[in-house]
Structure 1
């Protein structure tokens, strides 16, 4: 837990109301999302019991497995869910848009929008991952055939669950983490995992949260007491009222899901959220085209090289997401200021036309002096970036005490983001009097390390076995 989040939790306890820990919304909230509230039978590995699904808050569709141990009923449930989900995701495969590449010399085409799936909590994502793994390799003919939509459901569920692992992706979101990214409550993280309580803290405060502590669970696991008192007798006697009982159990969560999205939409969206959604559209386009072309299902597990490449991508995405959140949100950036990785100051001197002719050819290298009252923990030679000019680098030349006690003068040399001439473009060099934020964070692209061909890895990592020389 960060320092500012801990402070916000303390303030929430004192005031009885959740406290904001972000000034902007850090995720894309779709205008036409699909909400899925899954419910699984306790004590059974990934045995679906029911689900509420749909894109209309007023018209949720209830899917029920009246006998969760019955294979045919479970796959009938999967088939109906497939009809809903596949129809939803296919609805985005019509309109396309052209994206310029290679500095405008060429274009590529992608779908103009992408689907977005919402579940109540991280447990819902785990349920979809397991359900996708158990259905995507099923066959529609042979000894144990399943309905035609089941394998396709598994592939799409796996796609969404995999995308949820990528920091900053918004293809599959869960309401608990989405709210926790923007508000802090006065309770523990374990208590925040209950959607009803968390939402009550944000909407109405601690007193309202106490009133819903013992309310219906948000799934995917059911409450043991409910299982013993209500669910088990209904299943044993195949009661016709079971679907209605499950609907009443899940409707509060369904309503809270849509209230969560309404709450998030009220926040101003972060500047870089659209860029991350563009990446999601690229991912959706690639997978939808792979499916349309008859591509194979996702493998059961990655090979060594594929796993290493995926880990690199996740690490790069996590680093990029952290920087983007800080650049979008002063409250997030404040954490880095506390840690000494950022400081704010005012430009007191500026030489926008300075030329460095010490090399083979002269280059534009303006210098500015920034005065700050914050502690500066960067050494000369450190490269800094300003969120207001992310394409420009500021190399620290020197740090010296200012004439006022507790203040410092930081001399910076600028490069990049000023055009290609020896005269800086207007506004590209900070002017005297401008308030500037500087940080060691950077959005600069980082090239991934080279990985070997799978055939060149040792046998312990999927490559060919090493054969010993036969004895003479």
Structure 2
């Protein structure tokens, strides 16, 4: 937890209301996201029990599995969910533009779940369905393996820092507000929103305390409340299982199950849209649109891959593919952290508190300074001295950039600590042209206030890796290509 977040939590306790830890919204919110609230059966690995799905708060679709231990009913649920998800994906495949030399749909899917456990459900459900066969003894409808491939794609995008294709509402809210409760308690969506947006006449702690009542606010899934499981759900499932298939009694049992499961899902459904409305009140950060364009490009690319007959994602990456993916994720995390800091002064404040950035006022400028570089040429390298009261832990020789001058690189020449301040001397490296005298405005002016940071997006190098076919035997040798087989249809759900 950062220093700013810790302070904001303390203020939240004192003020009895959540405190903002962001001045802008750091994620893209689609005009028409697909909200997905899943429930699973306790004691059964990833066995779907019910789900509420839809793109409109007023028109959710309720999917129910009357007997979650029944394999056929699980696949019937998967088929219904597939029709909804694939239909939503197809609605995103409309008009397209050319971006970075690639065709890119103007829209992209966005799947919203209540919490990180919901992302886990998407990942496991994708794995359990993407290899299913559409022929043979365990045949499924063609949309089921297609659903699995797309859910796996969503899960992979959720691991990519900054992606907005699959998001957990509790994590979104925690990124923008600090409550007066622990991070574990923030996993309860109702309690978290109680702090952020309490009902009229309630303080944050009062609303959060009321939200802990599972009768009023059932868990946000995918797990259910044990009391509900034992006293309501189990008798309802037994009642269904004890009726004759196709009989009026079974129809009544199914209707009862739908009623009780609707009662478990509907409160969370309302909370999802309430949280979404709260997030929409924030203006998006400057870098948000660029990340969403990247999401659109990835969606377009994968859609084309699927349409052209590409195979399902492998069960696990080979050694080289895993190393490349890890490096991409590390670079993306650094780029995301930098972009958020440059977009938002509250996020940058975390780096200032850690000594990785500082706010300073220019007190001296040597605009026409000339030095001899390594090639023996005389070049212009202005010096700028800033006075700051922030702790500065940036070492000599470190590269820094100003938030308002992101195209101009500078190097720290010295950090001189005085009694009540710190003087930081910077040598400008670029962004002022090639003339002997930098034009006005190209170099910081005396009295100008700037924020400089050493948190840069190019700090993660790309290692040199062999091709996949050259994977050494110590790492399993070259990976074998996936070949569909009858065994895929018998893979367990978990």
Q: TM-score range by the shorter chain?
A: over 0.9
Contact kept, 8 Å, 2:331 with 2:457, in 1: the verdict is no
1:56 is aligned to 56
1:221 is aligned to 223
Distance 2:115 2:149 in 1: 21
1:286-324 superposed Cα distances (whole Å, 9 cap, x missing partner): 111111111000000001111111111111111111111
Q: Secondary structure, in 3 states, of the residue corresponding to 2:220?
A: coil
1:195 to 176, 189, 194: 189
Q: Secondary structure, in 3 states, of the residue corresponding to 2:443?
A: coil
Q: Is 1:383 equivalent to 2:399 in the alignment?
A: yes
Distance 2:333 2:352 in 1: 20
1:470 is aligned to none
Structure 1 unmatched ranges of 5 or more = 101-106, 466-472
Q: Which moved more, 1:420-429 or 1:231-240?
A: 420-429
1:469 is aligned to none
1:314-351 superposed Cα distances (whole Å, 9 cap, x missing partner): 11111111111111111111121122111111112223
Q: Secondary structure, in 3 states, of the residue corresponding to 1:344?
A: strand
Give the deviation of 1:422 after TM superposition. 5.2
Q: Which moved more, 1:268-277 or 1:168-177?
A: 268-277
Normalised by the length of structure 1, the TM-score is 0.93
1:40-91 superposed Cα distances (whole Å, 9 cap, x missing partner): 1111111101110010111000111111111221111111111111111122
1:85-117 superposed Cα distances (whole Å, 9 cap, x missing partner): 1111122222111224xxxxxx33222221100
Q: Which moved more, 1:446-455 or 1:359-368?
A: 359-368
Q: 1:263 to 1:464 in 2, by over 3 A?
A: closer
1:135 to 108, 129, 133: 129
Distance 1:73 1:110 in 2: 37
Contact kept, 8 Å, 1:455 with 1:462, in 2: the verdict is no
Structure 2 unmatched ranges of 5 or more = 199-203, 241-252, 480-494
2:446 is aligned to 432
Contact kept, 8 Å, 2:352 with 2:391, in 1: the verdict is no
Distance 1:84 1:419 in 2: 56
2:282 is aligned to 267
Contact kept, 8 Å, 2:409 with 2:429, in 1: the verdict is yes
Q: Is 1:255 equivalent to 2:257 in the alignment?
A: no
2:248 is aligned to none
Q: 1:464 to 1:173 in 2, by over 3 A?
A: closer
1:154-176 superposed Cα distances (whole Å, 9 cap, x missing partner): 00000001111111111000101
Distance 2:115 2:71 in 1: 27
Contact kept, 8 Å, 2:353 with 2:390, in 1: the verdict is no
Q: Secondary structure, in 3 states, of the residue corresponding to 2:455?
A: coil
Give the deviation of 1:435 after TM superposition. 0.3
Distance 1:308 1:294 in 2: 26
1:2-60 superposed Cα distances (whole Å, 9 cap, x missing partner): 22212221222222111111121111111111100001111111110111001011100
Distance 2:408 2:474 in 1: 45
2:492 is aligned to none
Distance 1:59 1:413 in 2: 60
Give the deviation of 1:147 after TM superposition. 1.2
Distance 1:463 1:366 in 2: 54
Distance 2:417 2:70 in 1: 76
Q: 1:464 to 1:376 in 2, by over 3 A?
A: closer
Would you identify which runs of 4 or more consecutive aligned residues in structure 1 move more than 6 Å? none
Contact kept, 8 Å, 2:18 with 2:196, in 1: the verdict is yes
1:456 to 449, 453, 470: 470
Q: 1:406 to 1:202 in 2, by over 3 A?
A: same
Give the deviation of 1:446 after TM superposition. 4.8
Q: Secondary structure, in 3 states, of the residue corresponding to 1:381?
A: coil
Contact kept, 8 Å, 1:390 with 1:442, in 2: the verdict is no
Give the deviation of 1:434 after TM superposition. 0.9
Normalised by the length of structure 2, the TM-score is 0.89
Distance 1:361 1:2 in 2: 45
How many equivalent residue pairs?
457
Give the deviation of 1:418 after TM superposition. 3.1
Distance 1:153 1:55 in 2: 17
Distance 1:117 1:310 in 2: 22
Give the deviation of 1:362 after TM superposition. 4.1
Give the deviation of 1:464 after TM superposition. 6.2
Distance 1:22 1:440 in 2: 20
Contact kept, 8 Å, 1:82 with 1:149, in 2: the verdict is yes
Q: Is 1:76 equivalent to 2:51 in the alignment?
A: no
Distance 1:448 1:312 in 2: 7
